[in-house]
Amino acid sequence: MSSQKVAIVTGASQGIGEALVRAYRERDYNVVATSRSIGPSSDDRVHTVAGDIAQAETAERVVREALQHFGRIDTLVNNAGVFTAKPFIDFTQADYDLNFGVNVAGFFHITQRAARAMLKQGSGHIVSITTSLVDQPVASVPAALASLTKGGLNAVTKGLAIEFATSGVRVNAVSPGIIKTPMHPPETHEFLSALHPVGHMGDIRDIVDAVIYLEGATFVTGEILHVDGGQNAGRW
Ligand SMILES: NC(=O)c1ccc[n+]([C@@H]2O[C@H](COP(=O)([O-])OP(=O)(O)OC[C@H]3O[C@@H](n4cnc5c(N)ncnc54)[C@H](OP(=O)(O)O)[C@@H]3O)[C@@H](O)[C@H]2O)c1
């Protein structure tokens, strides 16, 4: 088995995921980067797989190709995610299918397959990107589907941390506030900044730093690390 560490990053074509690919490469990992639109990489230590992460077939391909190309899986970052804010009674079946597809099925299929490889290996780290709206709902941003889906990810992070605790596989989550990524057009930034006790949005670097901290934090498992400008601390 190769000794070069390998990270899989989902939702890797832009935003936080794209930055995570760079961060793991800077730390000398081989990386498997996946999203629907991702193209081939010019870096031969980044293998890309294009596909819809909601589909089990994509998860199967990503994990199979990670093992074929690089021989092992050390880290899975479940970063692909969607967010639909609207009043609860206005959600459509399409909203429901999209949010449960990407956020929940997109976690389940690939985590199950990556965990099999990690458990066999006796080591690994699974980290998911959730949202602090789960713990601190905001009246002006109604987002029940985020609560249902990302809240489920927070819960399963703790569940799997316990299930895998003696196996060498750690399971954590990073819970962001609102981060300056392509998800938010610049004209929304002033409104979104005010939704944080510190008075400003977060940067992609803040989330990357948290994931990288967890990567090296060998005594930390089952942690929901809030990186949210104080949102989780209370009311403001
Ligand atoms: N930005 C924020 O304020 C914020 C706050 C809290 C939590 N988060 C979470 O952080 C994560 C990253 O957010 P971001 O702001 O970087 O998002 P983003 O800029 O919208 O990027 C989302 C990524 O997910 C991929 N993706 C979307 N649907 C997919 C699907 N069906 N199958 C495979 N890949 C898919 C996209 O690539 P393709 O289009 O190529 O598929 C893209 O690479 C998400 O889980 C998000 O919920 C973000």
The structure's pTM equals: 0.98
C-beta of 201 in contact with ligand 1 (< 6 A): no
**Mean pLDDT within 144-164:** 98
pLDDT at residue 235 is higher than 90? no
Q: How far is CA 140 from CA 35, 56, 74, 132, 169, in A?
A: 30, 35, 39, 14, 38
Residue 129 near ligand 1, beta carbon < 6 Å: yes
- 161 within ligand 1 shell (Cβ under 6 A): no
Would you say the C-alpha torsion 213, 216, 219, 224 has a positive or negative sign?
A: positive
Domain ranges of the chain: 6-233
Atom of ligand 1 nearest to the CA of 83: 47
CATH fold, domain 6-233, is Rossmann fold (3.40.50)
Buried/exposed 49-59: b ≥16 CB within 10 Å, e otherwise: bebbbbeeebb
For ligand 1, whether the C-beta of 37 sits within 6 Å is yes
User: Which tokens is 40 given?
Assistant: 């081939």
For residue 40, pLDDT over 90 is answered with: yes
CA 166 to ligand 1 centroid distance, Å: 32
Which atom of ligand 1 lies closest to the CA of 101? 31
In the chain, the percentage of residues whose pLDDT exceeds 70 is 100
Per-residue confidence (pLDDT) for residue 165, from 0 to 100: 98
Q: Is the CB of 231 under 6 A from ligand 1?
A: no
User: What is the structure's pLDDT at 1?
Assistant: 64
Token pair listed for 79: 């970063």
Asked if the model's pLDDT at residue 236 lies above 90, the reply is no
